[in-house]
Each structure stands twice: as C-alpha cells, then as structure tokens.
Chain A
Amino acid sequence: MAAFFQQVVSGLASGSIYGALALSIVLIHRATGVINFAQGEMATFSTYIAWTLVTHHGFSYWPAFVVALVVSFLGGVGIHEAVIRPVERGPRIRVVIVTIGLLLVLNGLVTWIWSGEVRAVQSPFPARTIDVGGVAISWQDIGTIAVCLLSVLVLGAFFRCTKTGLAMRAAATNPAEARLVGVRVSRMLAVGWGLAAALGAVAGMLTAPSVFLSPNMMLTVLIYAFAAAVLGGIDSPVGAVVGGLLLGVGLNLLGTYVDFVGSDLGLPAALLVILVVLLVRPAGLFGKPRVRKV
C-alpha cells in the first residue's frame, strides 16, 4: 500500500507540471482560439536562462527563478507583439502555423546558444525524503507540487480580483463588448501571452531537475500537457490543472502496475487519452459543450 501512495504522490508531482503547462496552453486558447505549439520550447528557453544565471552569473536558485519568470513574461509579450499580432486578424490557422514556426525557431535558437549537450540541473529542493505514515515522499515532489499549485493560485487570484485580470477575461470571452467599455483588447492578449510564458517557465524549471536540461526536454511534457488540457476541457483553467493531476497519477500507476506499459508507453497512453476524450466527450471533463448556432 505504501508503494501505491508513493506512486500517487510522484504522479501528482509530474501531474502538477503537466497541469501548469496545460494551463498556459488553455490561457492562450481561451483568449485567441489557437493552440500555441511553441509553449514547450518557450519554457525550455526560460529554463536555460535560469540555468545560465545560476551556473555562469553566480545567482542562487530562487533569484534566478524569479528573474527567469520576469524575462519570460516580457518575452511572451514580445513574441505576441512581434509575430502573433500581425497575423491575429486573419484565419486562425495562420496563427497556429506561426506558433509551429516559433517552436522550430526557438528550438534551433536554444541549440545554437547553449549547444545540444544534455546537462544536469540541480534541484532547489533537498534530496531527502520525508516519512508520512509509512509513505516516503521526496522533497522534490512536495516542492514541485507546492510551486505549481502556488503559481496557479496566484494566477487565479489575479484573474478574479484585479481590474486587469477582469479586463483580460472580458477580452478573452467577448472582445467586442470589452472594447466598448474601454478595454484595449490587443494589449490584454499581449499580457496573456506574457503570463502564459511565465507559467510555462515554472513548468520548465521544475521539469529540468528530473529529466536533465536539453533543447528537447519539454517535447514529451508538451504532449502530456495537451492531453491534460483536452482531458480537462481546452477552455477550462480548472480543468487543465485537474486534467494534469489525473493524467500524472494515472500514467504513473499505469506504468507501475501494468507490466507491458512500463515507462515506454506513457506517450501512446497520453495520445489515447486525447483520442478517447475527443471521441466521447469533446468538451472535456470541465468544459461546457459548445452549442453552435446554424
């Protein structure tokens, strides 16, 4: 039984990372109706920035973490202004293609700047475990869950309680009405890209210690995040987080208890989740089924 709970907790840890990245995908999808395929590479880029600050500029971990968040936010805003805004008014497929291009460019840029070498990253959390009723839980897992959930809660409070957060929600759900009350919609979308980039950076920086730092480290995480977002409902922020946690725990248990799945069939299992959800309940667990007027 202890082993079971151990797997659940470590599933929650990886699940909270999927949830955070899924949430950043959902934020942009809600506002613009497009999937940002570059979300993972943006997170990788942010993680390299944090790593450089720590290894080459003498930063300790948390200050580097915060600086990377700020740089990511500004980077997200910059990406929106430079490459997304010019195509925003056209068909959505154009924006999607731009994000795929962005994925390739950022991936190349990371390899060019930092080389493709795989690097070990130190975890900010102690390598010890803590005993909770016979279950050994690593500080790494606890820290990951705590940081992800804290980020999500801060973001949630921002959207609920601040004027800018409210304006962003209005801009996302009903841009025409939002403009009538004086909201500058395009500026709100830029802030949305910034926040999504910062949240993605959190996911990237928490992923690096367990999978090593490399230009492709977020590739699989991004697919899990897609699965989490689809499972929870692509337009539901709560759904993204819950979907991430469910997926993390589910995949972990599947890998442990179903022999042939092991650690190799995680990705196909995630794709299966996407497929089944889209077939059975396209709106996801928390999404509202969309009624289309004809």
Chain B
Amino acid sequence: MTALLELHAVEARYGPLQALRGITLEVPEGSIVAVLGANGAGKTTTLRAVSGMVKRDGEITFAGKPLRGGPEAAARAGIAHVPEGRGTLTELSVIENLRLGAYTRRGRSVRADIERMADYFPWIPERGDQTAGTLSGGEQQMLALARALMSRPRLLMLDEPSVGLAPLIVREIFSIISTLNEQEGLTVLVVEQDVRIALEVAATAYVLEVGTVALSGTSAELRGDEAVRRSYLGY
C-alpha cells in the first residue's frame, strides 16, 4: 500500500509553546489510522498542521505532492477535516451544511450525494430545514461527518468524534466510519481519546507523548503492549 499522507519531522508551535516536536507518520491509502495520546500530547495539533490551521515546519506530503498553504488549499487538495467539538455551522440548516460541504466540487451531483447521505444517516431527509444548532450532540457530529463526506474527500480527518457523546452513539459513528472505509475505500485519520474503540476500527495507530511519536504499530500490537494497556486501556 502506498502512503496517501506522509508527515516527516513535522513541528508546530503556538507562540512560545512548541506543540509538535517532530512528528513522523504515514497514512496508507485506503486504511484507517488512529492517533492516540493524553491531553496536550499534540493529537489535535497534528491534524491542524496537516490542514494548515497552524504554522508548521517539516515535510507533509499528500498524494505524492508537498502540501502547502492554509485550510482552503488542504480542502481543495481533497482533505476533509472535521474539527473537535462538532464541526457544523450552527446557524445554517442541515441541508445548507451539506451543500457547503460540497463547496469545492464542480458538477451537478450534489443533490444525488445529499440523498446518498440518507443511506448512512436516515434522519437527515426529514430534518433538512432544521437549524444545525438545534440538533442533538450526536446528530451534530453525524452532520459534521456527512458534510465532510459531501466533498468526496480522498482523506477524512476526524478530531475526537466521541467527545461528549453517549457510548451507543459513539459506536454508531465508528461503525459508519468502518463501513465507509470497507465499502468505499475511504482513507481515515482519526484522533481519539477512546482508545478501545479507536483500536477496534483502525489498522494502525500512533501514540503521541509531548509532541513526539512515542509508539506506533498495528492495532493488535498496541493492544498487546503492556504500557498502552496500563496507560490507556486500564487493565
């Protein structure tokens, strides 16, 4: 498998605070890769570095080309980034959020894609005109996911999709992500606090500690790792 996304010695800082101290990782085409770690380890910043939301150094290669510029450029290159805390535009309606998701696309298949989203999220058609801000937390997270899919991304980046959601909803969201990966070959880079579920769906994972990669391997390897089990899985 060739790598769709490669990070080599990527650094990023917020003012005087260095959040990433040389991250190297790769996301093979068609796989699900998880980024794990404690709060402040640099998980979110890793995604923000990829989509150009923070100033970064080092090399980021996407689909064989160096990735430069801000979030607009990343979106146009085919990266859909769902940020932490429900990436929806709360003042727009559900349908408007989906239309906006397809902003970078040309052509007239947007309507067909909105209908396609109903296969994954059956509640969407009947709630299309509802303002996104009035949806429940789980629905907003699903809408954020649907909006990201509307751009037909080559890479989907999810930042802690489970935050603040009931376990049942979290399970549903991750099962949709798995299905998309298996049936449509969607490549996914997911940052997650819920290590157990992340290791269930991801093929490989990276564990970050204070801005560097402390550990990486297949999900099975990490599940078997003593340190991971004790620090993150708690058994």
Q: How far is the CB of A172 from chain B (nearest CB, A)?
A: 9
Q: How far is the CB of B102 from chain A (nearest CB, A)?
A: 8
Complex CA–CA separation, A167 to B105 (angstroms): 13
- Which residues in B have their C-beta under 8 angstroms from that of A88? none
Q: How far is the CB of B114 from chain A (nearest CB, A)?
A: 13
Secondary structure call for the B interface: loop
With A169-B92, A177-B83, A177-B87 known to touch, is A182 a contact of B51 (CB < 8 Å)?
Answer: no
Is B138 an interface position by the 8 A CB rule?
Answer: no
Is A92 an interface position by the 8 A CB rule?
Answer: no
Against A, the Cβ 8 Å flags (1 = close, 0 = not) of B65-91 are: 000001110011000110100011111
- Which residues in B have their C-beta under 8 angstroms from that of A182? 71-72, 75-76, 103-104, 151
Is B147 an interface position by the 8 A CB rule?
Answer: yes
Against B, the Cβ 8 Å flags (1 = close, 0 = not) of A157-195 are: 000000100110110011011111111110000000000
Is B100 an interface position by the 8 A CB rule?
Answer: yes
Is B223 an interface position by the 8 A CB rule?
Answer: no
Complex CA–CA separation, A166 to B103 (angstroms): 9
Q: Would you call A177 and B104 a contact (CB within 8 A)?
A: no
Complex CA–CA separation, A173 to B89 (angstroms): 8
- Which residues in B have their C-beta under 8 angstroms from that of A178? 89, 100
- Which residues in B have their C-beta under 8 angstroms from that of A184? 72
With A177-B89, A180-B81, A180-B83 known to touch, is A170 a contact of B71 (CB < 8 Å)?
Answer: no
Is B96 an interface position by the 8 A CB rule?
Answer: yes
Q: Would you call A170 and B89 a contact (CB within 8 A)?
A: yes
- Which residues in A have their C-beta under 8 angstroms from that of B72? 179, 182-185
Q: Would you call A180 and B87 a contact (CB within 8 A)?
A: yes
Q: Would you call A174 and B89 a contact (CB within 8 A)?
A: yes
Q: How far is the CB of B92 from chain A (nearest CB, A)?
A: 7
- Total interface residues on A, CB under 8 Å, equals 17
With A163-B99, A167-B100 known to touch, is A181 a contact of B147 (CB < 8 Å)?
Answer: yes
Complex CA–CA separation, A274 to B75 (angstroms): 43
Complex CA–CA separation, A183 to B99 (angstroms): 12
Q: Would you call B92 and A180 a contact (CB within 8 A)?
A: no
Question: Which of A173, A174, A176, A183 is B103 in contact with, Cβ under 8 Å?
Answer: A183
Is B161 an interface position by the 8 A CB rule?
Answer: no
Q: How far is the CB of B202 from chain A (nearest CB, A)?
A: 23
- Which residues in A have their C-beta under 8 angstroms from that of B81? 180
Secondary structure call for the A interface: helix
Against A, the Cβ 8 Å flags (1 = close, 0 = not) of B101-115 are: 101100000000000
Residue of A nearest to B75 (CB): A182
Complex CA–CA separation, A181 to B147 (angstroms): 9
- Which residues in A have their C-beta under 8 angstroms from that of B101? 181
Q: Would you call B71 and A179 a contact (CB within 8 A)?
A: yes
Complex CA–CA separation, A170 to B72 (angstroms): 13
Complex CA–CA separation, A173 to B76 (angstroms): 21
Q: How far is the CB of B198 from chain A (nearest CB, A)?
A: 22
Complex CA–CA separation, A180 to B72 (angstroms): 6
- Which residues in A have their C-beta under 8 angstroms from that of B96? 166, 169
Q: Would you call B103 and A167 a contact (CB within 8 A)?
A: yes
Residue of B nearest to A183 (CB): B103
With A166-B96, A169-B92, A170-B92 known to touch, is A180 a contact of B103 (CB < 8 Å)?
Answer: no
Q: Would you call A180 and B71 a contact (CB within 8 A)?
A: yes
With A180-B81, A182-B76 known to touch, is A166 a contact of B147 (CB < 8 Å)?
Answer: no
Q: Would you call B83 and A181 a contact (CB within 8 A)?
A: no
- Which residues in A have their C-beta under 8 angstroms from that of B151? 181-182
Complex CA–CA separation, A169 to B72 (angstroms): 16
Nearest 8 pairs of A and B residues by beta carbon: A182-B75, A182-B104, A179-B71, A173-B91, A180-B71, A181-B103, A180-B81, A182-B76
Q: List 13 A-B contacts (CB under 8 A).
A: A166-B99, A166-B103, A167-B100, A170-B92, A170-B100, A176-B83, A177-B88, A181-B75, A181-B100, A181-B151, A182-B103, A183-B100, A185-B72
Residues of B near any A CB (own CB < 8 A):
51, 53, 70-72, 75-76, 80-81, 83, 87-92, 96, 99-101, 103-104, 147, 151
Q: A169-B96, A173-B91, A179-B72 are in contact. List 19 more A-B contacts (CB 8 A).
A: A166-B99, A166-B100, A170-B100, A173-B89, A174-B90, A174-B91, A177-B83, A177-B87, A179-B75, A180-B75, A180-B83, A180-B87, A181-B75, A181-B100, A181-B104, A182-B76, A182-B104, A182-B151, A183-B72
